[in-house]
Amino acid sequence: MRKWILTCAGILLFKVALCNQLSEVRQLYMKAADSETVCRQLLQKLSGSGERDKVLSGYQAAATIIMAKHLSRPSDKMSSFNKGKKMLEAMIFTDTGNVELRYIRLTIQAHLPGFLGYRKQMNTDKYFLRKALTGLQDKELKLLVSGFLKTLEPY
């Protein structure tokens, strides 16, 4: 019985820590496009997250794409963009029903210049997110998604 209680307590602590980390990552993500320092901080925080959590890996991929904005050499920009895009698409391919990954992709696509050709899934992701919004249990994510969808209403 004691072992079971300790196991449950450990799992609960892990989940609380992950939720706190995810909340912090979401806040950094919102600021990453405006600050190279914040973007680098986000990338550092997420390094090695791929083994732990798909959503954190999705944010790592998005931060890699955003870093392209802060780089100066065109070849570095394209390399960072392509690396992040490949990572993000791989995450979504393995979990197409993940609301947060689709939200991340939509936010990236909505802010990229059209000539990069990475806007093909925007309508699909908007439709998916609108449908998923009603059943979403994560209140913070629900606020982020609904707020972002409102910014896209004219489209």
Cα 89 from chain centroid (whole Å): 11
| Per-residue pLDDT reduced to its tens digit, 90-105 | 999 999 999 999 999 9
DSSP structure string for 74-98: HHHHHHHHHHHHHHHHHHHHH-TT-
Q: How many CA atoms lie within 13 A of 76 on its CB side?
A: 8
Q: The whole model's pTM is what?
A: 0.84
Find out whether 107 and 62 touch, Cβ atoms under 8 Å: yes
Q: Give per-residue burial for 40-65: e unless 16+ CB within 10 Å, then b.
A: eebbebbeebbeebbbbbbbbbbbbb
pLDDT in tens for each of the 155 residues of the chain? 555 444 434 443 344 444 579 999 999 999 999 999 999 999 999 987 665 689 999 999 999 999 999 999 999 999 999 999 999 999 999 999 999 999 999 999 999 998 999 999 999 999 999 999 999 999 999 999 999 999 987 65
